[in-house]
Structure 1
Amino acid sequence: MSFRMSRVSDQADFLGESPVWDSQRRHLYWVDGFSRLIRSHDPATGTFRSWQTPSMVGSIALGAGGTLIAGLADGMYSLDLATGAFSPLFRPDPVDPAIRFNDGKNDRQGRFLCGTMGVHADPLGKLYRLDGSGRVEVFATGIHISNALCFSPDGATMYFADSLERKIRAYDYSTDDAPSKGYRIAIDTEPYGSGPDGATVDAEGGIWVCLIQIGKIARFFPDGSLDRMIDAPTDMPSCVAFGGPDLATLFVTSIKDSGSGRAISKHPDGGILFAIDGLGVGGLPEARFGQGAVATNMEQT
């Protein structure tokens, strides 16, 4: 299959992550976590914009009414895109400076899930879910590095990884209730020599995963078998998302220098945002976070 890779931006991110396509605005959003920036691109006009975050940013998701939801170092926040103001939605009580929020995404019902991690990759992380009414739940604990969060097209399966385990978990995921705290191993990335970083699911249910240690992007079937593997345009691809007018473009963020000492690119295009076209499959529109009451600082286990 013939596909095309192109550069979206010539400005390198130190820690590019969490691309998300807004099908209504037809804008792409992503983050440079280490630089504390949320960035956007309008392909129709070729323009770029950025918002400074008050702390390190791990991930973003679409919000309602001109907002984004962001997983910042100490909690979940809403960003008003017009004013640049951040409003807290949930912060663990007490806030632990040894832990930060990392990979996050809205589920198909518009609830924001975000995993935390130890800043030194200690097993201190949890996976949280915030809904529009302000309810916060905890689904997993003891996580080193939360990553690969994504959902099957029907929303019935949640994929999630602790990158240091080099495996992607699959949870049964009810549309109304909490996912089962039991899980199965859906994908084992150990044989390929890399842990999983960011991931997304296409319209056919295929799981696209960045294999950051080997500079490749893989598509797996839901049964865990490998469909294809392609060389990434740089050595440290970090996260992927489908976008574009027909949702057929795969956007790829990458890392130049994560700031932690664990990920430093040796490639001249490290940190560049890329687009891949011609893959023969497309994505699904991302849900928006529902508007609701501000979450209370209560962890429900």
Structure 2
Amino acid sequence: MNPNNFDIVSTQSCIVGESPLWSVHQQRWYWVDIPGKTIWSFDPASGLTRSWACAEMVANIALTTAGTLIAGMESGIFHLILQDGPAVSASLLAKLPEAGPGIRFNDGRCDRQGRYWSGTMFMYMAAARDIGQLYRYTTDAGLSAPVVSQLLTQNGLAWSPDGKTMYLSDSHPQRQLIWAFDYDTATGTPHGQCVFADMTSMAGRPDGAAIDTDGCYWICANDGGAVIRFTPEGKVDRTISLPMKKPAMCSFGGSNMDEMLITSINPDPQTADAWNGHSLIIRPGAQGIAETLFPAEA
């Protein structure tokens, strides 16, 4: 399947564009460039793009009830306030337990109840070190003990519409799996891990993901130039070809939640390319679910 058109939302190419999300309250998109240490936003009404510089790499962001952000970064989980100018006010919420050279948080978001989740990875993927861990963070309890361990490249976090299934992927070339867990919504505890989809024989590795109102799981096929929809039973029922080879993460948004913002990676920032590293909007023929906000004080 190929949409009629692709709309680039910014002329700025990211090195590693990640963590797109839609603010229902602000009616604008956000995403990050991890190595660029930058948070981006796009206002569809005005067509304006803005950016904020961070002191360290920001891997993922989630919206809070205070209109601010919670983020997984290099050294820990932070509360971020975007200033009127290009600066960011950052407050450390929890240190990264296994902090060290080459380790940082990667993919993250809130569950349907507003608990914040994020996983870690060893950045030099060629080393294939399975030291990644998945954590849960709440204001009351702080950072949990590792909930899932031995991850190579943690990715693909998402929850079913009723919140009772948690999805997680490992996008490393040696793993390329998507798992499903039964999820206790009262305690925020996943259990019963099983393989939801094995992408080792498919074009592309499983990267960032989103859920639609039908409970289908959309995932970017990194290196495969596509976004793929899996039914709740783990069957592929839709593949949308994209103009870039390395899409990184997708997210639903727009005024009717029927648009999808897809970020991407530019594997060679020194080479100009019309699509690599850019973020684009498509209309995939499905409707998404608004992200649950993390409960935070203003």
Q: Is the 8 A contact 1:133 1:291 kept in 2?
A: no
What is the aligned counterpart of 1:96 among 96, 100, 113?
Answer: 100
Write out aligned runs for 1:129-278 (5 A): 129-137=136-144, 138-164=146-172, 165-257=175-267, 267-277=273-283
RMSD over aligned Cα, in angstroms? 1.9
* Number of residue pairs the alignment of both structures matches: 287
CA offset at residue 188 of structure 1?
Answer: 1.4
Is the CA contact (8 Å cut-off) linking 1:215 and 1:237 kept in structure 2? yes
Shift in alpha-carbon separation, 1:120–1:136, aligned structure 2, 3 A: same
Judge conservation of contact 1:132–1:289 (CA < 8 Å) in 2. no
Name the CA shift for 1:94/1:184 in 2 (closer, same or farther; >3 Å): closer
Q: Which amino acid aligns with 1:115?
A: G
8 Å Cα contact 1:206-1:222 kept in structure 2: yes
User: 1:181: Cα distance to partner?
Assistant: 4.0
- Matched residue type, 1:231: S
Q: Is the 1:152–1:158 contact (alpha carbons within 8 Å) kept by the matching residues of 2?
A: yes
Task: Measure the CA separation in 1 of the matches of 2:271 and 2:280.
Answer: 15
Whole-Å Cα distance in 2 between the matches of residues 152 and 168 of structure 1? 14
Change (3 A) 1:133 1:265: farther
Where 1:90 maps in the other structure, the secondary structure is: strand
One-letter code aligned to 1:5: F
Q: Unaligned regions of 5+ residues in structure 1, if any?
A: 293-301
Indicate if the aligned counterparts of 1:255 and 1:271 stay in contact, CA closer than 8 A. yes
- Secondary structure of the structure 2 residue equivalent to 1:180: strand
Deviation at 1:145, TM superposition (A): 0.5
1:289 aligns with 2:294: yes
Match of 1:115 among 99, 114, 119: 119
Q: Structure 2 CA distance, aligned partners of 1:266 and 1:151?
A: 36
1:117 CA displacement: 0.3
Contact 1:17–1:33 (CA under 8 A) maintained in structure 2: yes
Structure 1 equivalent of residue 38 of structure 2: 37
Cα deviations across residues 202-248 of structure 1 (Å, max 9, x unaligned)? Answer: 11111111111211111010111101111112111110000100010
1:111 counterpart letter in structure 2: R
CA distance in 2, matches of 1:266, 1:213: 18
Q: Name the CA distance, whole Å, in 1 between partners of 2:239 and 2:182.
A: 26
- 2: CA distance, partners of 1:93 / 1:125: 11
Partner of 2:61: 60
Contact 2:76 2:95 (8 Å CA) reproduced: yes
AA of the residue aligned to 1:268: A
Structure 2 CA distance, aligned partners of 1:97 and 1:134? Answer: 27
Q: Structure 1 CA distance, aligned partners of 2:18 and 2:152?
A: 18
Aligned-partner SS, 1:190: coil
- Change in CA separation of 1:34 and 1:116 when aligned onto 2, cut-off 3 Å: same
User: CA separation in 1, counterparts of 2:164 and 2:9?
Assistant: 33
Name the TM-score, length of structure 2 as normaliser.
0.91
Q: CA deviation at 1:82?
A: 3.2
- Give how far 1:128 is off: 0.6
Percent identity of paired positions between Structure 1 and Structure 2: 37
Could you tell me whether the CA contact under 8 Å between 1:217 and 1:230 is conserved in 2?
yes
